[in-house]
Amino acid sequence: MTYWKIKAREMANCNCEYGCNCQFGGLPDKGNCQAVVGLDIEEGHYGDVDLSGLKVAASFRWPGPIHEGHGEAAAFVDESASEEQRHAILTILTGGDTDPFATVFAVFAAMVEKFHEPQFVPVEFEVDVEGRTARLRVDGKVEMDGVPIKSIVSGQPIKAQIRLEGGFEYEVADIGSGTSRSISPIEFSHSNSYGQFAHIHLDSHGIVQAA
């Protein structure tokens, strides 16, 4: 197994209401799951291949709860990636060289039965985890925007977090609001729904615990 490790800033936006039942072992409140994810890898490597600075996006759709499978996924890797980087990041995203179910990538990959051909295109992604803002654009493919949740009473931004022990994606996530449109090859859209902003630190064995 080739050892890998990444530190990245992430935003994920699914069609659940704020909070997302899946984060607490529940079922998706719409009955199905659709999501867009953006990653900005700050530091990372796959064996000797440096992944620092790479930006990646993906769209996912499941007909029911994720754990029931039958999902489809599409990955978009920034065109600046070298052939070695492309192979490395796609291996990670599809659960390769990873302990079984140790990372969100491995879990999602195990629950997907249709992987669309990966595309190497310009990926524009900026995210401020603590500020709960993000903007993702992959022209003609997928787009996502993130903003803080605002109180319906005062109109002020709401600061909320989810802390998970023993998870496979993050230790702490800041929660905001997201709006996404997946255009091709998977089509869906949702707005003003669960937005997750996190610093993720993962390797071949799962979450790398903070010191």
pLDDT in tens, 134-144: 999 999 999 99
Give strand ranges (E) for 101-204.
112-115, 119-121, 124-128, 133-138, 142-147, 149-150, 157-158, 160-163, 172-182, 188-203
Distance CA 155, CA 148 (A): 11
Over residues 169-188, the pLDDT tens digits come to 999 999 999 999 999 999 99
| Collapsed DSSP state (helix, strand, coil) of residue 94 | coil
Q: Is 24 left (phi over 0), alpha (psi -120 to 50) or beta?
A: alpha
Number of domains in the chain: 1
pTM higher than 0.75, yes or no?
A: yes
**Which pLDDT band holds residue 211 (cuts at 50, 70, 90)?**
low
Instruction: Answer for the pair 207, 168: CB distance below 8 angstroms, yes or no.
Output: yes
Q: Is 210 a residue whose pLDDT tops 90?
A: no
Instruction: Supply the range of the domain harboring residue 37.
Output: 4-207
